[in-house]
Structure 1
Amino acid sequence: MKYYSTKNKGLSKSFREAVIEGLPSDNGLFMPEFIPELPEDYFDNIKEKTIQEIAFDILQPFVKEDLDDLQLKKIVEKTFSFELPIKKIEGDNYALELFHGPSYAFKDVGATFLALCLEEFYKEAEEKCTILVATSGDTGGAVASAFSKVKNIEVVILYPSGKVSDLQEKQLTTFDKNVKALEVEGDFDDCQQLVKKAFLDSDLRKQLNISSANSINVARFLPQMVYYFAPFIKFGKEPLTIAVPSGNYGNLTAGLIAQKMGLPVRQFVAAANSNDVVPRFLIDGNYDPKPTVQTISNAMDVGNPSNFQRMIDLFDEKEIREKIKGFAFSDEATLEAMKTVYREHEYLLDPHGAVGYLALKEYLNASDGISILLETAHPCKFMDVVSKIISDDIYPAGAKELMQKEKKSVKMKVDYKQFKEFLVG
């Protein structure tokens, strides 16, 4: 399998090269040269498979030239070492809980897979790799946790000052040695632009081996395909409707690729907050990025989602608008949904999951069968919001311990020169 750029189909890179480079030099995004199809009978006995077996089956065609079967099996066993429970909310509506990993967010899957791939690639290397990652909330914590013990790799995390929750900030800023946190006086899009400028800086790339741990990296979003198969282990091969809380759209892109491989999805529902550029595109066909709006579902506060490039590379506009229905909701509606679901069904949604729940309710008809909401983060990460609904202590033991640790970050303006000096210094 080779990987091309969304801006240059003639580019041809191996999986290893695409992962290490992170971003093509033309500012496109890497994509696999083709999407392999699963055998027609793959879902006939899916209830008998483990998620690790499925992960191997799904990912092997994308990586086999650079990771042998033994390496890949070891990586997927570690990546999918935590449970992915499916909880009933009401009727035929279920939540697939993706927050039982070390940072309590779905991004543990992609971050762990990426870290383990890079560990294999740099195992014998003399030079170090520097990972650059911009985060609007959950990505940084997952990356910090995944890379904190990986040799020959340094991590620099950029996050918007004052725009992440207390627990999210502690997850970014309490590591030693190879993980450094930059507290940027701007929003997520500012952080992401600093990272993109670094990748396009040929002078910097002569001095440092840099790679990305955002969902722009193929090793971040490809493993996210796997958990879309988890509901089918429980329910069998009947098509499902799946709602995806969406910010940078790497999660939904992974689902679309899984569908192209043969995953029987009836409909994808893109759930957005006030940063509604993609839902508006799905209505009128106009892609019009806007400045980021701060919301209580902060991991989705992205005004110009990078992975939109991948979505329009996979499908033309007509196909996208058929495969995805998009809805956007205000903070007020989000909070009200959290209250209603907890009161009526005793299920505690986080703000992102609440946006997904609202989108499902907006889209679904009574006859639409089983629907799945991707519950992407543990509610404890958003106690400033959750405390308005429940007064109970919902922190897992590990999160309580983390909240007592000292914050270590470097404050920085939105200034590429200052950022570059920090990296090379």
Structure 2
Amino acid sequence: MTENTFPVHNTETLVSFYRTDVLSGQEAKHFNKSDLNPVPKPEAVQTLYMRVLHLLTGFRPECHSMVPLLENIQYPAYHEGATYILSVYTRMRQFLPMCLVYDFSLNDLLAPKKQRTLTILSAIMNFLHFRKQRMELVLEKQAKLRSDMDRLQAYTRSNQEAEKKIEMLTTIPPEQQAEADELAAALSHLQTSTMQEYQEVNSTNETIAEWKARIAEETQKLAQLKVDAGNLKEDISKLKSQIVESPEELKSQMEKMKESVKSIKSSIKDTDERLVELQNMVHGVTHSEAEIQQMFSLLQDLESSMSHSKQQQEEEQELMAQYEKKQKELKHLCAEESQLKRAQTMKMDKECKQNIRKQKKKEMKEQHVQEVLGHCNQIHQKREEMAARIQEISGEKQQLKAKISSLREVCSKETEKAQVQPQTA
């Protein structure tokens, strides 16, 4: 104990610690500095050790003085004092190596010394502080494990609810399955019909553009002809005012003019007919545009339904992402739980090994105590035998003393007789 791994405290610190953390009631009130300084009192030191054992192992102080009921023990009341000391000694020998004190002896109980007692009490105080810190750490880990288990249960419940929601969103009820199939068939038919209508509308738009181009060309030609006719009329009026022509030439020119007017009228008629045809075509185009507008409204409705379905798909993807996130957190929590379980199992294995070692040491100590008690019983039997022999010897001695006294009396009588005979002679 010359090189300690723990600090050795003074008497005031030890007294205050043991009064607050170990002793209780009247023992804490009566325990003071004079019990350890200048010379420790054996009763106070033994009481401290018993209270420490009671705090750590649950072994009550009154159990130390209980003598085992064996057949070979006679007068067990004589053994209570020695049993009390030996029990405290054996249990302190088992406990103090955990406090890094390996040389505990009976003198530390029966005749404790100041510095050694302070060292042992400081070691026990250091161990109790370490035990308190470990217990707080274990309690914190247990609380964290409980909270993690609660979170794990909450996550599993939320995952199950998300799975149910996903299943409800992905599965179509049987009463709506036929309607959904009809809607899907109608949607596909409507898509094909809209594609055909789009193709027809494109073709009609192309024909309308071609007819519009032709109408523009014809109107341009008609305007040019009107301009030419106006120019001709002006030229004719000028010529009429300047030249007096022959009637034959006038007739031929008039015929030519009539033919040109007829050709112009026929061209105007053709253009009117074409214009009517084009108006009919434009009316058909407006009718087709109304139908296209209806189809467009239907397509907008379909687009809104498709956007709603896309929104549902996005919600489903978000739920799946949340589900995967929860699964990852669940795996992480399971890994932490497995680590905690592994650490707990390792701790339990260590504790089991320590308990087995303690049990072996306890059995060895109990066996040694039984051997010592057997040896004490043999010594007691030998003592009884010696006491019986001493009694026999004392009886023989008394008999010898009686014989000696009787012989002395006989001798004294004989000497008196011998003294009387010469006088008579």
Structure ranking higher on relative contact order (CA contacts 8 Å, 6+ apart): 1
TM-score normalised by L of structure 2: 0.17
TM-score normalised by L of structure 1: 0.17
Instruction: Tell me which protein shows more strand as a share of its residues.
Output: 1
Instruction: Tell me which protein shows more helix as a share of its residues.
Output: 2
Flag the structure with larger Rg. Answer: 2
